């Protein structure tokens, strides 16, 4: 080596210590780890399929409800503030919301620039200060919920249309009825009696037919004239589409997103699957239901006609993230078999169910 020639760097031998990184590099790594991970942007409400979920549907708030009922609103607020760093446990809508986010991830992979996605809005009549615990809980579970509506004790129903809501889920039956009366697809969600594992990669949604996807026209005939007259009526009107029910628009929105996967050749691997689960008989009244869907340009992946048999055992096999029905005994039967069921308060079956209001806690919205 000539004098003044730079030495070639040598590899450190076994057991040799490497030079420590400069302090500014260590600081950069430290702050990079602290920085929040970049999340995708929320879609514009007019482009998205918007699901509005109440706080008590998304999380379990039984203890908070008890405190409100027994000790009043001031103690309730104090309790929430004292526990705001403790995340709530997942509620009945939690698996459904996680499945929506799984679909969104697939859509973003296929259509990076598209805003045709699910958008979840948390809707609650909690005070904004109480909302800190909700925000902490959402961050704890790494949920992507950017839009909040916290109304400080007032009903949030008047805001649902401004949020372009396609579906509203709540634990408060009165609020759900308000939404239905305003022409918004809505349902009261119930926890199952036992936990059942559901798919982590495919959103599964099951619908009753009459008074859910369809109007209550046929149920009115059954109630007034009996099953024989109903079968005659359905046969005579087989080619006349039923009027739409409150959740027809939500099925339509699901179908729109499904077609985005179909256009990529992914029909069999589509992460959204829909089911019609109806008490109708296939031979005597099933054709009208299927022809109605066809006339709307809609379909369900599976159509299950039970001819009056219980729905719970079949739902146990499907394992949907949510099942919609207008009759509480079907909802209860689904719950018993471990299905998250949601009651749609629409149609003639509800006339005997209207009861006087009961006191509800702020999170029940």
Active site residues: 208
Compute the CA torsion angle 300, 302, 305, 310 (nearest 10 deg): -110
- Residues 264 and 278: their CA atoms lie apart, in Å, by 31
Does residue 61 contact residue 88 with C-beta atoms inside 8 Å? yes
């Amino acid at each position: 080596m000539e004098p003044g020639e730079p030495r070639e760097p040598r590899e450190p031998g076994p057991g040799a210590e490497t030079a420590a990184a400069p302090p500014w590099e260590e600081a950069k790594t430290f702050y990079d780890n602290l920085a929040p991970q970049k999340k995708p942007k929320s879609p514009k409400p007019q482009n998205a399929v918007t699901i509005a979920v109440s706080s008590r549907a998304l999380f379990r708030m039984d203890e908070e409800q008890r405190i409100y009922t027994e000790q009043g609103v001031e103690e309730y607020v104090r309790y929430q503030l004292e526990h705001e760093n403790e995340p709530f446990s997942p509620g009945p809508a939690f698996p459904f919301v996680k499945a929506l986010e799984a679909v969104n991830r697939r859509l973003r992979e296929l259509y990076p620039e598209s805003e045709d996605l699910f958008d979840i809005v948390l809707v609650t009549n909690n005070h904004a200060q109480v909302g800190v615990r909700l925000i902490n809980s959402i961050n704890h579970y790494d949920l992507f919920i950017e839009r909040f509506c916290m109304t400080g004790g007032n009903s949030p129903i008047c805001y649902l249309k401004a949020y372009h809501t396609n579906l509203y889920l709540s634990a408060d039956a009165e609020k759900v009825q308000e939404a239905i009366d305003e022409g918004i697809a809505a349902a009261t969600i119930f926890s199952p009696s036992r936990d059942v594992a559901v798919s982590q990669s495919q959103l599964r949604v099951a619908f009753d037919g009459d008074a859910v996807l369809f109007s209550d026209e046929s149920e009115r005939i059954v109630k007034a004239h009996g099953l024989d007259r109903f079968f005659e009526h359905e046969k005579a009107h087989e080619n006349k589409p039923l009027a739409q029910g409150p959740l027809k628009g939500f099925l339509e929105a699901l179908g729109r997103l499904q077609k985005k996967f179909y256009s990529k050749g992914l029909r069999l691997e589509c992460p959204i699957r829909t089911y019609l689960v109806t008490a109708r008989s296939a031979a005597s009244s099933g054709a009208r239901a299927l022809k109605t869907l066809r006339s709307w340009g809609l379909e369900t992946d599976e159509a299950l006609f039970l001819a009056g048999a219980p729905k719970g055992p079949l739902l146990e096999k499907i394992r949907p993230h949510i099942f919609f029905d207008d009759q509480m005994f079907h909802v209860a039967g689904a719950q018993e078999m471990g299905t998250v069921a949601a009651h749609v308060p629409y149609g003639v079956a509800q006339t005997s169910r209207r009861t006087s209001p009961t006191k509800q806690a702020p999170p029940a919205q």
